[in-house]
Chain A
Amino acid sequence: MRLSNTARWTLGAISLLVLTFIYVPIAVVVINSFNTSMNMAWPPAGFTLEWWGRAVGSQGLLASLGLSIFVASCATAIALLLGTLISLALSRYKFFGRESVSLLVVLPIALPGIVTGIALNNAFRTIMGVQLSAATVIIAHATFCIVTVYNNVMARMARMNRSLEEASADLGAGLWTTFRLVTFPQLRSALFAGGLLAFGLSFDEIIVTTFTAGSGTQTLPIWILTNMFRPNQAPVVNVVAVAMVIVSVIPIYVAQRMAGAESKR
């Protein structure tokens, strides 16, 4: 199809409009974090750094940030281990039920979060009689984080050259030595990307978390959610939101750098 210039310009204009639609709400939050008005009235009434100061000094906020980092790290570690094992099995072997296993890995993310959340809540509380805690959140997060590691490692394994591993075995290396010195180095960047995604997914998760966290377990998203509805805390939530947007740029930057390094190779 040969598009007329009018069509091209119209498409370009629509695209610009869509990008504006995507960025205006985020910009509003950034501006509101400096807005003197407590109820985020627009246009901003004046400039203040008070909310930023309050955010840095908030004990509850810092504690929840720490807990979120801890939960996300544990969930990522479990997901990396289990995701690597299952990808090695699925990419190297043909066996009965292989399709079902791959569906099983995707299921926790394909089903709505509330289903995963209530199913685990019910299993922990009613069936096993376990108290909800940070540990139950970690178990829940690890379950849906496996898929990000799995996707990345599977894609890498499909492109990997098996003959290197065969050469290693022919030269007398055992299975573990071959994995450590030949397979793992080739998987490293895929594991990094998958782990980064898993960390981000866990760090930001709120729906499954509300169902699996005990009353004393306050992750950062739960802190945001509870404070959002308190009028005198809402401006501080703006600050946290901006900080989270800034932090979320880091993984994109790293991923882009890695993609660039890969394509040059």
Chain B
Amino acid sequence: MKILLQNILRFLVLLLVQVLVIDQLQLSIYCRPALYVYFFIALPVSIPRWAEFFIGFFVGLTLDSFANTLGINMAASLLLCYIRPLLIKAMVSDENIVPGFAPSLKTFGTGLYIRFISILVTIQHLLLFSIEAFSLVGWWNTLLRIIISSAVCIGIILVIEKTRKR
């Protein structure tokens, strides 16, 4: 119950930060971190896979509604939710997974955690920006966008994890 509330709260906070702060700041065309990925990253491992799909679908839909990009966040989030459990399985051995286990800097250890979020964040940005730029020739711009936005996003997530209470 506590974990559920914690996750709902985290979703609401990240949604508001994403929609009202990051998307409004409009720092640069190249810097548009999709910080809400952190919500997926920090979901508990014990969650059933079908439920994770529906969460990804719903979160993507909510963000799309704000950004007028119906489908883009949805498709990217869904794929992320598909990859995440497979990645965790490959990175963490089964005996380490106790009830209530969720990926974080503490449970993963610094090196592994950075690798874990780097892969997921980069995949998410890769999908988001390449679907968005589908009809455009400027692939060089898109690549630059993916690299800069992912780097900023990974940085913010690490800062959040560092300041998190034990």
Bind each other? no
